[in-house]
Every structure is written in C-alpha cells, then in structure tokens.
Amino acid sequence: MVTLRDVARAAGVSLATASRALSDAPHVSPANREQVALAAASLGYRPHPAARALTTGSTGTLGLVVPDLANPFFAAVAKGVQARAHETGRDVLVADTDEDVTAEPDIITRLGDRVDGLVLCSPRLPAEALGALLAAPAADGRVALVNRETPFAPSVSFDLSDGVRQAVDHLRALGHTTVAYVGGPAGSWSDGERRQALAEVAVVDLGSFRPTHGGGVQAADLALAAGATAVLCFNDLVALGVLARLHARGVATPADVSVVGFDDVPAASLVTPALTTVAVPLARAGREAVDLLAGAARGGDVVPERRRLPVELVVRASTAPRDPRLADTTPGSSATAPATSPATIPRTADPEVVIR
C-alpha cells in the first residue's frame, strides 16, 4: 500500500509539505505542489478517507438512505446516485431502513455524521418530524430528497399526478368504467400525490396496502369483489401481485381485467402478460439528487430547489379494450352473480396480513 511518506520521498520533499500539497493548503510553492502531484499519480496514491477528513474537513463520501433496497425502485435510484458520485470522485454509503419509520431518524443522524451529504429517498417520516430533522443547523445544505418534497431541503420528484391522469385516460379510452386503485402505505407522500389526482376522476379506492407483491395479491380479491374491470396499482410490485392472484383465480388479463402499474421496473416487461405501467426516470432522479447536493447550501432565505421529472405511460399487453358483452358480468364469477357495489367494498387502512 502506497503511503504519504512514499509520495514525499518520491517528490523529494518533507512529509509535511507533501501533506499540504495534496490538501491544497497554502504556503506550498507551485513547483513543489506539481512535483507532489506527479509523484502521487505515478505511485497510484489515494488518501485515506479518515486522514482526508481530518485535513480537509471532507470525507469524499455521500450517504443514501432508502426504505427497502430489495425494491427495484430504490435499487434503480441507488444506481443513479452511485454513477453520479463516481463521476465526481466520491463514494456512497447506503443504509436501508427496512420500511421502519421509527428507525429512520437514528439511521439518518448516524450516517449523516460520517458523510459530506445525504440523499434521502422516499423517507417515511411524517412531514412535521422530517421538517424538524431537516431544519436542524447540522442538516443545512447537506441533504437532498428523492420522491419527497419539503420546504427544508432541495428535492427531485416526479410528475405523479400526470402519470395517474395518463393511466386513467388510457383505461377510460379502452372502455373501462369501473377502475379500482390499489394504494400504497398510508403515510406515503407519493401515494398522497396520486390520490390528489385520483380525486378528480371516478375510481374505486381499495385502500392502503404494503408496496409489495403480497400487497397486490391481497388487493386483487377486493378489486374483483368491487366488480372492477381495470386496476391501477401504486407500483409495479403491487401490480405483479395483482396479476398473480388474478391468474390463480382463473381471471384472464387483460381479457377480463386490465392492470396498470407504476415505475416501470425491469420485471414489468418480463412477465406474461407484459405490464402496462407509468415509466419513472429513477436513475436520473438519483443523479440529479447528487447534483442538488453540490449546490444545496442554503443560507439566508434561499428557497431550496425543487425538480419534478416527467413520466410516461408505457402501454404493453396487460391492458385491452373492455369487452361490452361482459358488461353485466363480474370478473371471476358466473354471469348471473351480481357485482358488489363499489360503495360496499371493504377498506383496509394498513393491512398486516400478506397472502403469498
């Protein structure tokens, strides 16, 4: 392992001069600074992060906090953060809260003490608690958000309202008049954004579900009970669970029920039928969050920057025109069985049971 002492010896300068030259400290002649830089490059020297932090006040490391790294949504954002950080010569430490909102503050605080800046992706904390955390002096200019907005930090989010409108307009154009919505976690900011858009159209609200395959499996039965001919899901994982449950119950997709997801994760195009979904630029959001950190120091009354990225509906095989001959038939039941009124469907605030 090449040490600073090796660099100093190769450059023909003292250890102290080599240290000052590599940390851009003053009182080093241009000739010595250049000689040290050449020696470091030729030897492949890289400063130890802890030593660099002591001399420059910078660790050269960013932190990323996500609710669930197993979810491909967050994995895609992480790849964007990692790619942009690498381009700027920095490393990334990743922390997974495992969807535990009570663990978030401690994880954010501990990781924040070890890095130059933090990217928080879809933090689950309530608005008041998140605001208090970000308003602290230690967080000033050191935090950027992805898929969440707050007055206290710069953010990159998505035009979720437009995505909902694109999906609903698509289903209406296919002749679907009973569209059900499978919501995400009750405290999810992005689910709230979707619901604001859904308030402008007539849909059957099935309630809040865990943003997993199992949550979709559970929701599918409620969608069928409501007589829905189309289902719009909080994310693609939920949509894949809906597809699986419909298949298990002998309900054809899209002949009987059309299904739309959200995010366009890789699996969306690999299943049968391929999933119609709203494509969200996840990796781009991660990259832009890193860029926001570079200019995030607020100071004074500067309003943190907000960026909303466009989304686009990707039509695949899981949606199709509603067959008018089935208009009086509840999917998955006999033609004589009456459909359950949407007004009577059970609503689930935060289901704990996951059918797999």
pLDDT at 1: 76
Q: Tell me the average pLDDT across 254-278.
A: 97
One-letter amino acid for residue 198 of the chain:
L
Task: Name the band, by pLDDT with cuts 50, 70 and 90, for residue 191.
Answer: very high
* pLDDT of 128 above 80: yes
Poorest-pLDDT segment among 86-100, 123-137, 318-332: 318-332
* pLDDT of 328 above 60: no
pLDDT at 60: 86
pLDDT tens digits, residue range 3-25? 888 888 999 998 888 877 877 67
pLDDT at 294: 80
* pLDDT of 355 above 70: no
Task: Name the band, by pLDDT with cuts 50, 70 and 90, for residue 354.
Answer: very low
CATH architecture of 4-56: Orthogonal Bundle (1.10)
pLDDT at 43: 86
pTM: 0.77
Q: Tell me the average pLDDT across 52-73.
A: 80
The Cβ of residue 290 has, within 10 Å, a number of other Cβ atoms equal to 25
**Sign of the alpha-carbon torsion through 52, 120, 165, 322:** positive
The CATH class for the domain spanning 61-158+283-308 reads alpha beta
Q: Which residue has the higher pLDDT, 52 or 293?
A: 293
Poorest-pLDDT segment among 5-19, 42-56, 99-113: 42-56
Q: Tell me the average pLDDT across 322-350.
A: 48
Which H or E element spans position 232? Answer: strand 230-233
**Sign of the alpha-carbon torsion through 194, 119, 81, 156:** positive
pLDDT tens digits, residue range 195-247? 999 988 889 999 999 999 999 999 999 999 999 999 999 999 999 999 999 99
Rounded CA-CA distance 185/24 in Å is 48
Task: Name the band, by pLDDT with cuts 50, 70 and 90, for residue 137.
Answer: low
Task: Tell me the pLDDT of the chain averaged across its residues.
Answer: 86
Task: Name the band, by pLDDT with cuts 50, 70 and 90, for residue 162.
Answer: very high
pLDDT at 113: 84
Task: Name the band, by pLDDT with cuts 50, 70 and 90, for residue 46.
Answer: confident
Rounded CA-CA distance 150/143 in Å is 11
Q: Which residue has the higher pLDDT, 334 or 34?
A: 34
CATH 3.40.50.2300 in the chain: give the residue spans. 61-158+283-308, 160-280+312-344
pLDDT at 337: 36
The Cβ of residue 234 has, within 10 Å, a number of other Cβ atoms equal to 26
Cα dihedral value 137, 292, 150, 183, nearest 10: -140
Asked: is 160-280+312-344 a CATH 3.40.50.2300 domain? The reply is: yes
pLDDT at 342: 38
Non-local (6+) Cβ contacts of 36 within 8 A are 7, 8, 11, 13, 17, 18, 21, 22, 28
Rounded CA-CA distance 58/188 in Å is 33
Rounded CA-CA distance 225/67 in Å is 31
Q: Tell me the average pLDDT across 106-128.
A: 92
Contact 212/153 with Cβ under 8 angstroms? no
Contact 330/177 with Cβ under 8 angstroms? no
Task: Name the band, by pLDDT with cuts 50, 70 and 90, for residue 343.
Answer: very low
Q: Per DSSP, which regions of 167-208 are E strands? A: 179-183, 204-208
CATH 1.10.260.40 in the chain: give the residue spans. 4-56
pLDDT at 332: 56
**Alpha-carbon distance values, 310 to 51, 186, 216, 282, 307 (Å):** 42, 24, 26, 11, 10
Which two structure tokens, joined as six digits, stand for 297? Answer: 């120091």
